[in-house]
Chain A
Amino acid sequence: DAKTTQPNSMESNEEEPVHLPCNHSTISGTDYIHWYRQLPSQGPEYVIHGLTSNVNNRMASLAIAEDRKSSTLILHRATLRDAAVYYCILRDLGGTSYGKLTFGQGTILTVHP
């Protein structure tokens, strides 16, 4: 499975934008870039995903580099509720992978009031 590299931790102030980086230099053509987050004592929840183009949804934006070797999750205005571990995951839906998610260590986001 292709690997991702994320910073161990990041900090932000409430109501400021947050840019969470992810490197995935060995990404293959069939890998989708997924982001999940895990709030304390909860299961992971889906945030956003993309293939080649930048994506926006109600939770966040995903900016994907032109060569697809890196991406950035953007939280436009961080709230205290956004404090979580954020996982950047490459997900291959093809072949025999059956959409499995391979989690790394993720980035611990701390949001200060």
Chain B
Amino acid sequence: NAGVTQTPKFQVLKTGQSMTLQCAQDMNHNSMYWYRQDPGMGLRLIYYSASEGTTDKGEVPNGYNVSRLNKREFSLRLESAAPSQTSVYFCASSEAGVSGSMNTEAFFGQGTRLTVV
């Protein structure tokens, strides 16, 4: 069972470059999330998607865009990378949705370590 798979695992970008972080889950979950974690800090929500075709901003959305390509995949795009976006990015999925669910465990990927120089 793969769970949540993120690619790439590591990336170094130059300031101004663009890239897309990929995330896929194989648990048929409705909700997917992108978080970033800066050194010594907790995770902060960038964007989330409650269901296929919908996305919404989280706590720190500036400088990012997302696409919920289908139920499995949720990508995060940096259009013009900045050093302030150096962080570890985590994708997560869960069954929680509009109607709520008792199956509330969220599953996280292993993270993408991004450095912007």
**Which A residues form the contact surface with B (CB < 8 A)?**
32, 34, 36, 41-46, 49, 87, 91, 93-94, 96, 98-106
Mostly helix, strand, loop or mixed at chain B's interface?
Answer: loop
Whether A99 and B31, one on each chain, are in contact in the complex, defined by CB atoms closer than 8 angstroms, is yes
How many angstroms from the CA of A46 to the CA of B41 in the assembled complex? 18
Report whether B90 and A43 are in contact in the complex, using a CB–CB cutoff of 8 Å: yes
- CB contact under 8 A between A104 and B48, given known A94-B100, A99-B94: no
Please give the number of chain B residues whose Cβ is less than 8 angstroms from any Cβ of chain A in the complex. Answer: 31
Give Cα distance in the complex from A94 to B104, angstroms: 12
For A101, what are the chain B residues with a Cβ–Cβ distance below 8 Å?
A: 33, 43, 45, 92, 106
Instruction: Check B50 for interface membership: any CB of A closer than 8 A.
Output: yes
Least Cβ–Cβ distance between A104 and chain B, in angstroms = 5
Residue in A closest to B35 when the chains form the complex, CB atoms? A103
Among B4, B33, B95, B101, the residue within 8 A (CB) of A100 is: B33
Report the stretch among B11-19, B63-71, B72-80, B107-115 that lies at the interface: B107-115
Nearest chain A CB to B49's CB is how many angstroms away? 8
B residues in contact with A44, CB < 8 Å:
43, 90, 92, 106, 108
